Structure 1
């Protein structure tokens, strides 16, 4: 993890799941912040620091319950998109839910603060205690986005949550043509595996086809040219085993994906736990028949 990220927690006022980068200040404006007591640090139960992440708690109103916000600071030299995963716990310390928030395009040197909320609204969030369990940051111009304006490339590249069974892992990469013109691919997506610091991972062979990892998982077809009309999509499966034997286990949270030669890269976070196998299988781009017209 990079020491570039500063993150603080404090959860109450309404905040959407997808948050655009904005200037320093709590969600709800200065008036909302003025009604709250000064934040006090809360130590992480497991002693984690999350690269200078600080947990904060404050009380709003004369007898209000503790509330939580989150704050991100970008101290790198390029704009970043932050994806934060939280666990919400009840008063007994029991985990009740997991929620994710994305803060887009935080500029270098910028600090952004937002309220953490739940699907049930601010009242439910006030009754919970939040803990950060994962922080992921990618360059803003490479961030995967499943919604919003179509990227200048005219395509969206995303990764699904995947399936896991008996040490076998399968994650799908999805390519959507959201532009106005046809988009053609032929063969396999280009992949670069990155560690938690977004540095290249070495010692892992990327195999064309998934049949050497396991049979029957939809990634061993012969590559064929695929032309996607606007609104159509294609997929390519990633497959690996997380078997751990002799040597050091390899984890690659980030994968930099290039849909085809010359395409703009997109960084996704499939959280590859490759164990000590040293192999990752990738299937060819295949048209998704559910979007074909």
Structure 2
């Protein structure tokens, strides 16, 4: 079953299917009493995860017998709102970042719809809801999480302006890099070693991870806009002083986005070699970026 899934502050989630040129919604029984904050399809698109302010994750799947979407809850040990989710390539493990300053990896194995999973570097026993990894005090709210293409590394960004990677293939060793930017809100692996992150600075940044202790900032991906300063009339000069308490005619940023970037998504290419990715911002704009490997 494939379609578009949405969630909102009204505590509901819908799966939208295209029939005869019209998008038709199907209500999902998510059973939450607080706002839904994030939602993510699994790689095989046979289930999706939904985070909420109810301090739980609903893992939703389609039951063919009754023709409806059901959900199972992962509750413990989360103590606050779930802010971000990402699926492991094996369709079983689920990473979650939350406002309790923790980053966790859970098993979201549903025996009704999928075969028993094999062992991974994160662990071998995977009953539903099993905590495979729990990283405490990540430096602030964990705004974004992203598995690497192999699934052996997990990157996250937190509210203390840091980006971190935990490497399951290297004994779950954590490498953290504190940036001098404003806090990052979204993170995305675009190749096995390259990571793109963006947030309150309104532009995407590229980082590279070569192994434990080797997480580095590469470059800013935005190209500054050239602003042409024309001659300002005396009337405009005093009008700006009166309205804005400044002589400047414009307070535009020299970046493509004029407000915080909330989410990065893959547009084309596989996670192992992303060709294009998108960014959506609070300025109401969406940008599509070509990533050069």
- TM-score relative to the length of structure 1: 0.31
- TM-score relative to the length of structure 2: 0.31
Higher relative contact order, chain-length normalized (CA < 8 Å, sep 6+): 1
